[in-house]
């Protein structure tokens, strides 16, 4: 009887376990595959991406208010149409990032690198830009003038003065 009971248990238990493991593997693969795409997502207040390599991430039309991106590598990342109000991007690398129509209001960009970033119609009202590098960033004239009023410091990584990279008069 013990032998037949074992066969019976193993006969249905093993396939159930295999199916369960298969579903777990598939669901974890799906989550991993989508983990980099926050398009149109509303992330919790103070989401923390500090010290991370986010070069494969997508934040198009995402809302990451009060998010932390301190020293994050965001080279080439899309933030198009996103809301990053009061985010901390101190020391972040935003080289060639797409910031078009994004809200970067009250964002801390201290010592950030924005070399070659696309910023058409980006709102930088109230942004802290001490030591930020805006080399080769095309800004609307009114935005440039606002940023020049508060620009100061030198970027510790590139060695460039913020006012010079903004081409302030």
- Report domain extents, the chain: 37-169
Q: Which two tokens mark 1?
A: 């009887």
Helix %, strand %, coil % for the chain, to 5?
Answer: 30, 15, 60
Q: What is the pLDDT of residues 119-163, one digit of tens each?
A: 989 999 999 999 999 999 999 999 999 999 999 999 999 999 999
Q: Which two tokens mark 154?
A: 């030198």
Residue 20 is classified by DSSP as: H
Return the CATH fold of 37-169.
Answer: Pectate Lyase C-like (2.160.20)
What is the rounded CA–CA span in Å between residue 133 and residue 120?
Answer: 17
From residue 162, alpha-carbon distances to 52, 85, 86, 157 in Å are: 24, 21, 20, 12
Q: What is the pLDDT of residues 7-52, one digit of tens each?
A: 554 455 545 544 444 444 433 333 333 347 676 667 767 789 999 9
The confidence score (pLDDT) of residue 124 equals: 97
The confidence score (pLDDT) of residue 153 equals: 98
Instruction: Kindly state the greatest CA–CA separation across the chain.
Output: 93
Q: Which two tokens mark 137?
A: 């960033």
Q: What is the pLDDT of residues 40-90, one digit of tens each?
A: 667 767 789 999 999 988 999 998 999 999 999 999 999 999 999 999 999
pTM of the predicted model as reported, rounded to 2 decimal places: 0.77
The alpha carbons of the chain give a radius of gyration, in whole angstroms, of: 23
What is the rounded CA–CA span in Å between residue 117 and residue 137?
Answer: 5
The confidence score (pLDDT) of residue 21 equals: 41
Instruction: Return the bridge partners of 58, or none.
Output: 37, 78
């Amino acid at each position: 009887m013990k032998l037949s009971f074992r066969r019976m248990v193993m006969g249905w238990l093993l396939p159930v376990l295999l199916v369960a493991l298969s579903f777990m593997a598939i669901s974890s693969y799906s989550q991993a595959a989508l983990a980099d795409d926050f398009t149109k997502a509303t992330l919790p207040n103070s989401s923390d991406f500090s010290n991370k390599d986010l070069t494969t991430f997508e934040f198009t039309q995402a809302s990451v208010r009060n998010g932390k991106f301190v020293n994050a590598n965001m080279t080439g990342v899309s933030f198009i149409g996103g809301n990053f109000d009061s985010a901390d991007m101190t020391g972040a690398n935003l080289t060639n990032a797409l910031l078009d129509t994004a809200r970067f209001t009250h964002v801390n960009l201290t010592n950030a690198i924005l070399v070659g970033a696309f910023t058409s119609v980006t709102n930088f009202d109230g942004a802290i830009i001490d030591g930020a590098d805006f080399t080769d960033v095309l800004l609307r004239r009114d935005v440039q003038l606002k940023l020049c009023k508060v620009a100061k410091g030198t970027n510790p990584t590139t060695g460039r003065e913020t006012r010079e990279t903004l081409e302030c008069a």
